[in-house]
Amino acid sequence: MTGIITIRGRGNFSSGHEYLLGPYNPEGKEPGYVAGYEVIKGLKAGGYLSAKEPEFQVTGKFWMTEQGGKGSIFLELRALNDFFVEQSLELNPARKGFSLAWITLSDKGSKGQRLDESGPLIENICSSTLDISLARGFIIPDDYDILKSLLVHLSLSSGFDLIITTGGTGLSPRDITPEVTMDIIDKRLPGFEQGMLSYSLTRTPHAMISRAVAGTLGQSLLINLPGSPKGVRENLGVVLPALEHALTKLSGDQSDCAVRV
């Protein structure tokens, strides 16, 4: 990624703390950024902003509407060091590894009435195989609008590379994950779906009622997994060998897909 982002305004930043930065306002008291729109647009979750060394990691990005109907892109940043900006600091954007967001669909889990094991398991399995630069988890109720809003935000605003849901793929009245996913994806990935289903059918006939969907939205790969830890482990294990190649291609890699034998 090319381009410079300049942080302007006096401010202390502490390692491990999260900061929300908007465009710099000379009349304001808070630090802000100065950069071209294309540079800010190109920032993705998991990326880094470096001076002599990485100073921030991008954890998210969103559009905020302000008074009068105008708006701006705000950056969610995690400081990686303790440092002080006196007047300005020039930063270079860079990418390394992949960003992962997992979403657990559970009415009880979202209320703290059930311990979520499946979401953290997704993170552990993916981190054991992929170079994960950033992982964030979300536990939400089985609600169509909430899931749709979150998926669109994580993909098109924050730019997560890999977004995996767990739960809501069956036949219960509130199982809406496949419907939401189908409503927003650009391209469907039947190979992922068929691979997971074929393996699951060797484990249990109940797999026949799974409606899990996989596809792409923007430059993000979306995958639905079952809600149980067992289902997560088995289904994710099927698609895991193809994830790095799929994510690399989705990010714009133009190299030959052929494998020499």
Number of CB atoms found within 10 A of residue 223's CB: 25
The reported pLDDT for the residue numbered 29 is: 86
Percent of the chain with pLDDT over 90: 90
Sign of CA dihedral 244, 249, 254, 259: positive
Instruction: Provide the CB-side half-sphere exposure for 92 (13 A, CA).
Output: 8
Q: Can you tell me the distance from the alpha carbon of 90 to that of 33, in angstroms, rounded to the nearest whole number?
A: 10
Angle at 57 between CA 51 and CA 60, to 5 degrees: 135
Cα Rg, the chain, nearest whole Å: 20
pLDDT tens by residue, 161-212: 999 999 999 999 999 999 999 999 999 999 999 999 999 999 999 999 999 9
> Structure pTM?
0.94
User: What DSSP string runs through 82-118?
Assistant: -EEESSEEEEEEE--SEEEEEEEE-HHHHTTSS---H
